[in-house]
Amino acid sequence: MSSNNKKRVFSGVQPTGSLHLGNYLGAIKNFVNLQNDFDCLYCIVDLHAITVWQNPVNLRANILDVASAYLACGIDPKKSIIFVQSSVPHHVELSWIFNCISRIGWLNRMTQFKEKAGKNKEKVSAGLYIYPNLMAADILLYLADLVPVGDDQKQHLELTRDIAQKFNNDYSEFGGKDFFPIPEPLILDESSRVMSLRDGTKKMSKSETSSMTRIELKDENDLIIKKISKAKTDAFPIPESIDELGNRPEVKNLLNIFSSLSEVPVLNILNNYAGKQFSDFKKDLSDLLIARLEPIRNELIRIEGDNVYLRDVLEDGAIRANEKSERNIKEMLAEDVANINK
């Protein structure tokens, strides 16, 4: 809980490439909605990005791209703290402490590591294996109460909760009892999970070779129309019920995108389009995407041309984040008490 009695929210986005519709609907759109009711910290998690090799020049550019997207989508730096993870050294300090709290068995159960490492587990970086501990440090460093998560991130938040509980228990007799709040998930609506335009079983991703699998925030209107017109569907008409979407992942994905952008339930959308072919639906979806994304794209272009403003926002965010983290880490390490006793 923050000093203004608002619950505190922490979340972040990796700077690993051009941001796309999945980043917007799955994260940033929700960040914007939360900032009026909560004390929000929104991080650009560059330390997570380097668990796999990154070109340093590209990484620096990607950091500014994420900051631009935060601002262009509507995150207000006066209401929320926007900062780069590596500009606050206490993230690394606390993550090492959590390396010593977390258990190997807990990390072995992390399914995302298994997916990312694939068959090359012996060759991936140790950072990829222990990065859930850094994620826990990101959240708990600011004593966050709430974390926006999708289905694929619930396991990492559970680990964060386990680490917080173990720390509190291990150090309860030394003043650590209930030091860390046990963060609760803010579960995102299923429609906010955006899948590939070419394969409805895979998340929309920056890492896919073909840009036709995703709508990027910088895509021009004609390119949005082209990508949606070529988005994979199937030979059957649009169904009448949600139950009929079970084995039609690409159709479900496009309907979820429409629902999330329009804030209209999927069932209502089905009522409007049931029995129709996809040509009319795809035209309307393209129009909706353009209406929502064109203002963001224009603002992105404007902000990206003002590096002084971008750096000012990030520097101010770093100062505010460091103030909060410094206070919490000192209390955790009981440095204030040690100084009094000197």
- Rounded to whole angstroms, the Cα distance separating 342 from 340 reads 6
* pLDDT 10s digits, 259-303: 999 999 999 999 999 998 899 999 999 999 999 999 999 999 999
pLDDT band at 336 (very low <50, low <70, confident <90, very high): very low
Q: Where are the alpha helices (DSSP H) in the chain?
A: 21-23, 29-34, 46-49, 56-73, 90-101, 104-108, 111-117, 126-140, 154-170, 221-229, 249-262, 266-273, 278-304, 307-333, 335-341
How is domain 218-301 classified at the CATH fold level? Tyrosyl-Transfer RNA Synthetase (1.10.240)
Could you tell me if 66 and 44 are in contact, meaning their C-beta atoms sit under 8 angstroms apart? yes
Q: Is the pLDDT of residue 342 over 50?
A: no
For residue 9, list its beta bridge partners.
Answer: 40, 146
Q: Is the pLDDT of residue 231 over 70?
A: yes
Q: Tokens for 146, please give them.
A: 């709430």
* Residues belonging to the active site: 116, 203, 206
Q: Quick one: pLDDT at residue 132?
A: 94
This prediction has a pTM of 0.90
CATH 3.40.50.620, the chain: domain bounds: 8-193+306-341
Q: Quick one: pLDDT at residue 171?
A: 86
* pLDDT 10s digits, 13-58: 999 888 999 999 999 999 999 999 999 999 999 999 999 899 999 9
Which of 325, 339, 340 is closest to 8 using CA atoms? 325
pLDDT averaged over the chain? Answer: 91
Q: Is the pLDDT of residue 2 over 90?
A: no
> Average of pLDDT values for 76-103?
97
CATH 1.10.240.10, the chain: domain bounds: 218-301
- Rounded to whole angstroms, the Cα distance separating 270 from 177 reads 51
CA torsion, ordered 62, 226, 204, 258, to nearest 10 deg: 110
CB contact set of 102 (below 8 Å; sequence gap of 6+): 130, 132, 133, 136, 159, 162, 163, 166
Host H or E run for residue 41: strand 39-44
Kindly report the CATH number that applies to the domain delimited by 8-193+306-341. 3.40.50.620
Q: Tokens for 265, please give them.
A: 């339930």
Q: Quick one: pLDDT at residue 92?
A: 97
